[in-house]
Structure 1
Amino acid sequence: MAAARFRMSRRGVGQLLRSDLVLAEMVRRAEVIKGVAEAIAPVGGPEDPHRGLYKDSFFVQPVRRGGRRRDRAVAVVGNTAPHGAHVEYGTERVRAHHVLLRAAQAGGR
């Protein structure tokens, strides 16, 4: 029996990394991460004027040419709340919640 041989094509791998199939999988994983983030996001107390805004502001954005070299399909999970960075990273008065970090660690499978 002859041994199987494989010859990699850089162009073919590049096309695969930008394909609709890979993009759909990245969006699926991003939606899972978004769902986890929404589930663990803090909503604030009853006196908070922005109660629930952070939790309701998550989004998923597919990007065909993403990544460090702009050579692959990716999906970005983010938050549009004006105070989103403060919730994620904390301030001198508010502890960091790391919602997106924890969601990415728990979700994206």
Structure 2
Amino acid sequence: MPAKFKMSKKGVGELLRSPMIQAEMERRARVIESVAVSIAPVGAGAWDPHPGHYKGSFEVSSTARGGRRRDRATATVRNTAYYARWVEYGTERVRAHHVLLRAAQAGGRG
């Protein structure tokens, strides 16, 4: 006789907010952070007044109440350098490096 399964929406919600899932989301975010740090551009010479500042400004945060509906564990990787968006997306004078995009594509499954 085949096994039967009845899904519990409450149970799935509890699972998605569980410490186990939050820990896994944070682990994946740490992998992405590690890749981002390894590929982050570092300026040199007189044109970069803060060489290495962008590379050293990555951070990870996690919560059990994340997502659009605040109903699941999430983790976030971000860069706190004031110019991080310009490194990621570029400007008319600086090419886009897409550091976080490339890190998420390369490291999210690690």
TM-score exceeds 0.5: yes
Runs of 4+ in 1 over 6 A off after TM superposition: none
Q: Quick one: distance in 2 between partners of 1:72 and 1:35?
A: 24
Which ranges in structure 2 are unaligned for 5 or more consecutive residues? Answer: none
2:30 corresponds to 1:24:
no
Local SS of the residue matching 2:51: coil
Inter-partner Cα distance in structure 2 for 1:19 and 1:93: 45
Q: CA deviation at 1:23?
A: 0.2
The alpha-carbon deviation at position 57 of structure 1 amounts to 0.1
- 2:6 match: secondary structure: coil
Distance across 2 between alignment mates of 1:103 and 1:84: 14
* Separation (CA, whole Å) in 2 of partners of 1:9 and 1:80: 40
Q: Give the secondary-structure state (helix, strand or coil) at the position aligned to 1:43.
A: coil
Long gaps (5+) in structure 1:
none
1:44 partnered with 2:43: yes
Q: Distance in 2 between matches of 1:19 and 1:46?
A: 48
TM-score, normalised to structure 2, is 0.96
> What does 1:1-109 align with in structure 2 at a 5 Å threshold?
2-47=1-46, 48-109=48-109
Q: How many residues were matched structurally?
A: 108
Q: Which moved more, 1:40-49 or 1:17-26?
A: 40-49
- Could you list the per-position Cα deviations for residues 17-75 of structure 1 after superposition, in whole angstroms to 9, with x for gaps in the alignment? 00000000000000000000000000112221010000000000011111122110000
Q: Matched residues in 2 for 1:89 and 1:65: separation?
A: 29
Task: Give TM-score scaled by structure 1 length.
Answer: 0.97
Distance 2:68 2:105 in 1: 20
